[in-house]
Amino acid sequence: MAKFSGSRVFVVEDETLVLFNLEDILAELGCEVVSQAMRLEQALTLAQAANDVDVAILDVNIGGTTVFPVAEILAEKGIPLLFATGYGREGLPVEWQDQAVIVKPYSPSDVERALAPLLEAASQP
Q: Does residue 19 touch another protein according to CB under 8 A?
A: yes
Considering only CA atoms, which of 101, 98, 41, 46 is closest in space to residue 74?
46
Q: How many residues bind another protein (CB under 8 A)?
A: 27
Residues 26-65: x where in contact with another protein by CB under 8 A, - otherwise, as a string: ----------x-xx--x------------------x-xxx
Residues 78 and 47: beta-carbon distance below 8 Å = no
The radius of gyration of the chain from alpha carbons, rounded to an integer in Å, stands at 13
Shortest reach from residue 54's CB to another protein, in Å: 22
Identify the residue among 34, 44, 75, 103 touching another protein (CB under 8 A). 103
**67: number of Cβ within 10 Å:** 28
Q: Does residue 69 touch another protein according to CB under 8 A?
A: no
- The residues binding another protein (CB under 8 A) are 14-21, 24, 36, 38-39, 42, 61, 63-65, 85-88, 90-91, 103-106
